[in-house]
Amino acid sequence: MTDHSISVKEFAEANGLLRQTVFKTLKRLDIEPSKSRGGKQNRGQTISYITEDDARRVLEALAASRSYQPEREGDETEFPDAALYDIGVFYLLCLEPEHDPSRFKVGFASNLNERLRQHRCSAPFTQVVKTWPCRRLWEKTAIECVTDGCERLHTEVFRTQSLESVEAKCAQFFAMMPKLAGAQST
């Protein structure tokens, strides 16, 4: 494409966003990406491109929808790191507190109440053990770190000898991570 265009894939990766998030935002803004067939390296797949102006509009829309707050007065930049827009919580859930207290689920949610509603369809007795402010980009690393030594039952579901030790690993992991403005743990 032109020097003033970027592929949606590269834009998403560079800004710590999911491609689906970018495409949904583009649709909401009525922006139609231009498309081009990739060469051999892309196996002839169609690649979507957006202009720098469209990229700026996507970042602005994401910032507005997540009410971006700079960490300190004067920290505002014209386009702060888009990964900051994908802030939510990392959760530790006990799926069956009464019948199987060693079975737990961990993961990221930008809206914990909605995520719990989804989980309670299959695990109605789910209880939140604790949450920590988190960027979506940290989720996989956090899961690998805090579940070390646990038995994996499903993608984000594990069994442990001690849920308290998993909670302690979570606390240690997030104590090392940068503090997120306006975010609180529970």
Digit-coded pLDDT (tens) for 57-91: 888 887 766 543 433 343 333 334 444 457 889 99
CB 35 within 8 A of CB 48: yes
CATH 1.10.1660 in the chain: give the residue spans.
5-83
* Lowest mean per-residue pLDDT among 10-19, 44-53, 87-96, 106-115: 10-19
CA 42 → CA 34, 36, 46, 51, distances in Å? 16, 11, 8, 20
pTM of the model: 0.57
Q: CA-to-CA distance for 90 and 132, rounded, in angstroms?
A: 5
* Lowest mean per-residue pLDDT among 53-62, 103-112, 142-151: 53-62
Element (H, E) at 110: none
Closest CA to 178 of 147, 140, 142, 133: 133
Q: What is the pLDDT of residue 65?
A: 62
| Rg of the chain over all Cα atoms, to the nearest angstrom | 19
Q: Please state, for a pLDDT cut of 90, what percent of the chain lies above it.
A: 42
**Chosen CATH of 5-83 out of 1.20.950, 3.30.70, 1.10.3470, 1.10.1660:** 1.10.1660
CB 63 within 8 A of CB 53: no
